[in-house]
């Protein structure tokens, strides 16, 4: 899948069939009725094997399903939740060419025409767009209000005027598609507004805060998976009459990374616990996302070094973990955005 930059249909189908795309949804909608913490555990475990598959699961559970559950009308829930629990992937359309970290400076416009809105604009870096069946489109209904004009619209893939562009040829998580999406006079009924007019920015902030915990779990699982592949090799590889693992210099490096992995896990689990119990968690989510991305970067780099020449080849999965981890410092809020969020919360505490 990595080489072909394509998620296999059998993998997507299996995720749905095993209930991993609707972990927190109620059984009345076809979900498993489990917990947010369960999502984090599943994402961590999937990322140990393939972070791209983990991302698909993470985004479906922490963005698509939660958007419908938190902001959907009863009619929207009845229409879409059975679909997203069975076979329909959702895709969140926020970023644009001129609005990355400054997400709410977006230019996509939604103009009201009777009982409909007409959406025009373009989005970039849209995850899962290639396979998505429904899109959450952030568009401004009144630019004079700035970010307070931003509204979230539900747009089905087959809506006339919606075009998914050529997917990006990425460094890592290649099996997960990232595409531009354009909207040319896309006609959306008023009934497809998710939440309230002008409240889209609140939806985005709330969901991205919880989503950061999911990305932390992805980075944690990625790093642990890489570590788990590498350490047995260092115990088997013999140089100078003993295993590479038995050299004290190696042992100290390995012990340090293992300790950082455990610290990253505890940060992630703590943020998930706070979010699940309804307690303040924004600072802790940013800490978890920031730190796990840093630890994943260190771990994968060290694992290549510990593996030696073979770690630099595609015969082993180590180089893939190394490529996959880099996005962790970029999406769902860059590392600098996380640090700014942490500092802002500290300022309020003191």
Give catalytic residue positions.
Answer: 332
Cα–Cα distance for residue pair 70/77, rounded to 1 Å:
10
Evaluate the CA torsion angle 9, 11, 16, 20 in order and state its sign. negative
Give the position of tokens 């870096």. Answer: 125
Q: What share of the chain is helix, strand, coil (3-state, %, to 5)?
A: 55, 15, 25
Cα–Cα distance for residue pair 296/276, rounded to 1 Å:
25
CB count within 10 Å of CB 140 equals 25
Let me know: does 276 contact 262? Beta carbons within 8 Å.
no
CA-only gyration radius of the chain, Å: 21
For residue 64, the 8-state DSSP code is I
Let me know: does 110 contact 141? Beta carbons within 8 Å.
yes
CB count within 10 Å of CB 118 equals 17
Which candidate, 56, 52, 55, 49, places its Cα nearest to that of 224?
49
**Beta strand extents in 165-274 (DSSP E only):** 178-189, 193-194, 238-239, 242-243
């Amino acid at each position: 899948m990595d080489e072909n930059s394509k998620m296999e249909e059998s993998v997507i189908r299996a995720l749905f069939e095993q209930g991993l795309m609707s972990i927190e949804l109620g059984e009345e909608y076809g979900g498993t009725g489990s917990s947010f913490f369960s999502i984090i555990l599943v994402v961590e475990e999937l990322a140990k094997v393939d972070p791209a598959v983990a991302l698909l699961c993470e985004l479906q559970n922490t963005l698509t399903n939660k958007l419908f559950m938190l902001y959907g009308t009863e009619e929207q829930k009845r229409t879409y939740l059975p679909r997203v629990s069975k076979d329909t992937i959702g895709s969140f359309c926020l970023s644009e060419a001129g609005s990355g970290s400054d997400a709410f400076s977006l230019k996509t416009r939604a103009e009201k025409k009777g009982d409909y809105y007409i959406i025009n604009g373009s989005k970039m870096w849209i995850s899962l767009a290639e396979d998505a069946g429904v899109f959450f489109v952030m568009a401004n209904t009144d630019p004079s209000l700035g970010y307070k004009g931003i509204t979230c619209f539900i747009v089905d893939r087959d809506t006339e005027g919606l075009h998914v562009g050529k997917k990006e040829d990425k460094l890592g998580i290649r099996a997960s598609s990232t595409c531009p999406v354009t909207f040319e006079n896309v006609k959306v009924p008023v009934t497809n507004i998710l939440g309230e007019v002008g409240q889209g920015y609140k939806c985005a902030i709330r969901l991205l805060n919880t989503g950061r915990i999911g990305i932390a779990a992805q980075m944690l699982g990625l790093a642990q998976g890489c570590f788990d592949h590498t350490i047995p090799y260092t115990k088997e590889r013999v140089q100078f009459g003993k295993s590479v693992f038995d050299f004290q210099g190696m042992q100290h490096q390995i012990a340090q990374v293992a300790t950082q992995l455990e610290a990253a896990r505890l940060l992630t689990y703590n943020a998930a616990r706070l979010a699940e119990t309804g307690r303040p968690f924004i600072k802790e989510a940013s800490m978890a996302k920031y730190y796990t991305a840093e630890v994943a970067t260190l771990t994968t780099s060290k694992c290549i070094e510990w593996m030696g020449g073979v770690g630099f080849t595609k015969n082993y999965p180590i180089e893939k973990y190394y490529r996959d981890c880099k996005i962790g410092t970029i999406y769902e809020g860059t590392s600098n955005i996380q640090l700014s969020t942490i500092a802002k919360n500290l300022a309020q505490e003191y």
